[in-house]
């Protein structure tokens, strides 16, 4: 009798492990094209339905013994719920249905040059100021990817303008206005004096980038394209 209990417990553990592995293998979020059918491989007893809905809504779910066919009818987002026997919730899956798009493969070589509406911060480094290493930007809040647009209420549109303005400060604390994720932010930095009597912020910046690449595809309805490119870097 004791051996039978052990075997039963072992079988239950194996079944639980199989179910847990199957549920874990299903991603938390999915992207479908409109009209596309997605097969979620599940095992016996696991059901899928749209969460908090009494109708099909954006996604229509139909089930068979070993898989769930999710058919996207309209664009939008919907939450699907996986449950055991339709009563015990197991997992939620977010499905984002996007419009079906046709792209045209190309392969044409192109040259690109990008200009910024300000000066883009692309890196940071220590400054050798009067025989000591300093980081003027430290604790200012500025990060790589930020766009500096003003210094002391003067618009900055090029690297040369930024260098000239910082040097003109002669080490005085300057007010900097920059953009991050569309939001305008402000901070102050005290430039560090170098051995050559220049003043620097410790920021690597760029106002343009140029390079060559290959157009990989073109989308006719929007005119958008994607390209693999190699930039010529310079600061």
Q: What is the CA radius of gyration of the chain?
A: 29
Residue 231 · residue 211 · CB < 8 Å: yes
Neighbouring residues of 221: CB distance < 8 A, sequence distance ≥ 6? 101
Q: What is residue 101's predicted lDDT score, i.e. its pLDDT?
A: 76
Tell me the H-state helices in 76-175: 159-168
Q: What is the pLDDT of residue 72?
A: 62
Is residue 137 within 8 A of residue 124, CB to CB? The reply is yes
**Which of 72-86, 139-153, 189-203 shows the lowest per-residue confidence on average (mean pLDDT)?**
72-86
pLDDT of 60 strictly over 50: no
> Would you say residue 56 has pLDDT above 70?
no
149 phi, psi to nearest 5 deg:
-115, -20
Residue-wise pLDDT for 149-190, tens only, equals: 999 989 998 888 999 999 998 889 999 999 999 899 999 999
Residue 76: per-residue pLDDT? 74
Q: Is 8 exposed, middle or buried (0-12, 13-18, 19+ CB in 10 A)?
A: exposed
Calpha distance 165→119 (Å, rounded): 13
pLDDT digits (tens, 9 = 90+) for 76-113: 777 777 777 777 777 887 878 887 777 778 777 777 77
Name residues whose C-beta falls within 8 Å of residue 155's C-beta, 6 or more positions apart in sequence.
Answer: 149
Those residues with Cβ within 8 angstroms of residue 13's Cβ, 6 or more apart along the chain or in another chain = none
Backbone angles phi, psi at 150, to 5 degrees: -145, 145
All structural domains of the chain: 27-98 (2.60.40.1080), 109-232 (2.30.42.10)
Over 60: is that where the pLDDT of 39 sits? Answer: yes
| pLDDT(138) > 80 | yes
Backbone φ, ψ for residue 50 (5° rounding): -75, 130
Q: Is the pLDDT of residue 53 over 70?
A: no
- 24 compared with 164, residue with greater pLDDT: 164
């Amino acid at each position: 009798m004791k051996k039978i209990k052990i075997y039963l417990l072992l079988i239950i553990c194996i079944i639980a492990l199989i179910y847990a592995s199957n549920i874990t293998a299903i991603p938390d979020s999915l992207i479908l094209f409109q009209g596309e059918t997605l097969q979620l491989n599940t095992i016996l007893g696991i059901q899928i339905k749209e969460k908090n809905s009494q109708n099909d809504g954006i996604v229509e779910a139909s089930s068979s013994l070993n898989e769930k066919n999710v058919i996207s009818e309209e664009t939008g987002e919907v939450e699907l719920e996986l449950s055991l026997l339709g009563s015990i919730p197991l997992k939620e899956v977010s499905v984002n249905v996007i419009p079906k798009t046709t792209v045209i493969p190309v392969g044409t070589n192109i040259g690109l040059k990008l200009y910024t509406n300000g000066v883009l911060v692309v890196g940071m480094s220590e400054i050798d100021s009067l025989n000591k290493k300093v980081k003027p930007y430290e604790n200012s809040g500025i990060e790589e990817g930020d766009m500096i647009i003003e210094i002391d209420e003067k618009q900055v549109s090029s690297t040369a303008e930024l260098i000239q303005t910082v040097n003109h400060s002669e080490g005085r604390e300057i007010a900097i206005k920059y953009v991050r994720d569309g939001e305008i932010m402000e901070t102050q930095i005290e430039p560090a004096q170098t051995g050559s009597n220049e003043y620097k912020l410790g920021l690597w910046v760029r106002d343009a980038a140029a390079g060559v690449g290959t157009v990989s595809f073109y989308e006719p309805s929007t005119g958008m394209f994607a390209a693999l490119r190699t930039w010529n870097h310079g600061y």
